[in-house]
Amino acid sequence: MIRQLQNAGPTLKIILGALLVIICASMAITLIPGGIGNSLGFGAPPAGVLATIGDEKVTVAEVQREAHQMILRQFPRGGAQMATLMPFFAGQAAQQLIDEKAMVAEAHRLGLRTNDDELRDDLQHGQLGATLFPDGKFVGQEEYEQFIQRNNMTIPEFEALEKDYILIRKLQALVSGTVFVTDSQVRAEFERRDTKIKFNYAVITQGDILNSLHPTDEELKAYYDRNKASYNNSIPEKRQIKYVLVDSGKIAASTNVSDQDLLAYYDQHRDEYRVPEQVKVRHILIKTPLPTPGGKEDEKAVADARAKADDVLKQLKAGGDFAKLAEKYSEDPGTAKKGGELDWIGRGRTVPEFEKAAFSLPKGQISDLVKSSYGYHIIQVLDKQEAHVKSFAEVKSEISEKVKLQKSERATEAASNSLLSAARNDGLDKAAARGDQVITTDFVSHNDSLPGVGTSPQLMDAVFGEPDKSPPDVVQVPQGYVVFQLLAVRPPATPTFEEIRGRVEAEFKNQRAGILLQQKTQELADQAKAGHDLKKAAKELGATYRTSDPVAPDGQVPGIGSLAGPASAIFSLKQGEMSGPIVAGADGIVAELLERQIPTDQEFADKKAQIRESLVEAKQGEMFQLFVSNLRKEMEKNKQIKVNQEEMKNLTRQTAEEGS
């Protein structure tokens, strides 16, 4: 219900939504006639900044962090391919971050805003809810901070980013909220999804062809020589280091805080513990219909709603049970089953009419009818809380964890700086003589895991960015700090034929088998059509012959797999018609359509609503994608987006070299 009460007025949404649909359809967005970028001045963004978008910026560090996260989402176990894929993902991350900043700028220009209450609601009930609010309970400030640190961000950075995502979703809802689909479109999509076909088919597999190939050493050596450029420097650069981990966990375990420390922190951060005025309420809502686009209300429907609300109010005044009446009559689906309870609300959380009544009522009293844009409310105040500052005793345990974390972080940083200074003067082994474990690695690649540290992009980025024979250095990692020294560099190398004979043979056979698969599938199709007999042609060419069950477009067929992709061509055949050669992955297919089964009207009625919803979602996505594309073009045209091409080249060149 709180989300409902926060919404803009319905008439405004209709007007803005219609306007944005027209803008998107015209393919000529002019949403920014003067706007945020015309007084920015000239020249490219400064060093370290990849792009400026109005008053916002995208830094090189942000792009690198996002690109690394993109790779980890696709390759969670890491692997040698991570570094080689970095140039591509860096470009993707850069474009994504620029688009996001452009959308946030446009959301602000349109008057969309977000606040801390919306942020908390989103963190609790959105995608991060299970992580930060398991079973509906906050994990605590310390775990919250550690979660953010594991994602290499500060709390302000994280919360600002989450607020930006909320704004983007608001913008998307505004742009695509008026999308609709016709009944004929729903019917066509239903028939496309649910029509089933039955067919004969013959399959030639690339695996069978591979098993028949036995290339000679001469053929493989010739293939290696022809493709030698693709093997250049395919053995990546490796480096050997020695290092010491300054473990923040061990230091935290020995860190103590005094009451004096806690009181000092409390005095410096009193504003953080201010509790605003709040009321705990429950309500019963009888909805009124939304006004028409012209702002006209349905007077009869409004009168009926008032009469119904009046009747409920009379029952309450006669001693009726508020919770039971709310469950029976309230039309707020979010609170009716809870007896109408909204829990605690602060000012600015609800529409003005509701807020005025809720904060003016004494504790325990029930209001008269309160009219808002949603209908008629009956409100009861269950409890009230005046604005105040929490006492030291109330927050002592919370402060203790914060102060201990801060002290241990400072101690960890100081210990690492001290170790680094000593290592640069006396060498890492002598500097660590007081008991720290010095680990010397073999030659490792950029994505290898190290003892005590694991797979650490922060450490490896630093190690592989160091010049040869450089002095010891330090880098922060999730476990604390690592002081390391580069010992040796083994540059990228090109393997000999003998070293990668197995890889060469696999690549040669795959290439040859792919060519033969296409040739044999074409021969199968030609022979089947010439003799009007697919079964006979399959037998003569050694293909597997089968008959399918009735299958829908998203179905699976033995020997073929999914009918999506190239195999979907079978659905375009007429009854009795033979297909041409179809190569789907590692299989060659020829099919003959036997029958087509059209779904019934009853099946359509059962699925109509679901299909309509999926079509609307798809069209909303397309509309918003078009909106963002045109917004980006317009902002670039007006010089509101400026890209530092030199930093882009440096980023790509740097990541490409790391992957070589």
Q: Considering only CA atoms, which of 205, 227, 203 is closest in space to residue 506? A: 227
595 to 119, 198, 553, 556, 598: CA distances (angstroms):
55, 5, 14, 17, 10
Q: How confident is the model at residue 117 (pLDDT cuts 50, 70, 90)?
A: confident
Average pLDDT, the chain: 85
438 vs 87, which has greater pLDDT? Answer: 438
Q: DSSP alpha helices (H): ranges in 468-581?
A: 501-531, 534-541
Q: Say if residues 349 and 277 touch (Cβ distance below 8 Å).
A: no
Tell me the DSSP string of 127-163: TTHHHHSGGG----HHHHHHHHHHTT--HHHHHHHHH
Spell out where 194-261 has E strands: 196-205, 238-247
Q: How confident is the model at residue 175 (pLDDT cuts 50, 70, 90)?
A: confident
Q: How confident is the model at residue 196 (pLDDT cuts 50, 70, 90)?
A: very high
The answer to which of 192-206, 374-388, 423-437, 439-453 has the lowest mean pLDDT is 423-437
**According to the model, what pLDDT value does residue 293 have?**
55
Residue 239 has pLDDT above 70, yes or no: yes
**According to the model, what pLDDT value does residue 84 have?**
67
Answer whether CATH 3.40.190.100 is correct for domain 277-386: no
345 vs 182, which has greater pLDDT? Answer: 182
Q: In whole angstroms, give the CA distance from residue 501 to residue 520.
A: 28
336 to 320, 332, 342: CA distances (angstroms):
16, 6, 10
Q: What size, in residues, is the chain?
A: 660
Q: In whole angstroms, give the CA distance from residue 174 to residue 650.
A: 38
Mean pLDDT of 122-126: 88
Residue % of the chain over a pLDDT of 90:
49
What are 614's two structure tokens?
């999926």
Q: How confident is the model at residue 44 (pLDDT cuts 50, 70, 90)?
A: low
Answer whether CATH 1.10.4030 is correct for domain 31-182+610-659: yes
Mean pLDDT of 171-187: 89
Residue 1 has pLDDT above 50, yes or no: no
pTM beyond cutoff 0.75:
no
Mean pLDDT of 469-484: 92
Residue 351 has pLDDT above 90, yes or no: no
pLDDT one-digit tens code per residue, 525-554: 999 999 999 999 999 999 999 999 999 998
**According to the model, what pLDDT value does residue 81 have?**
56
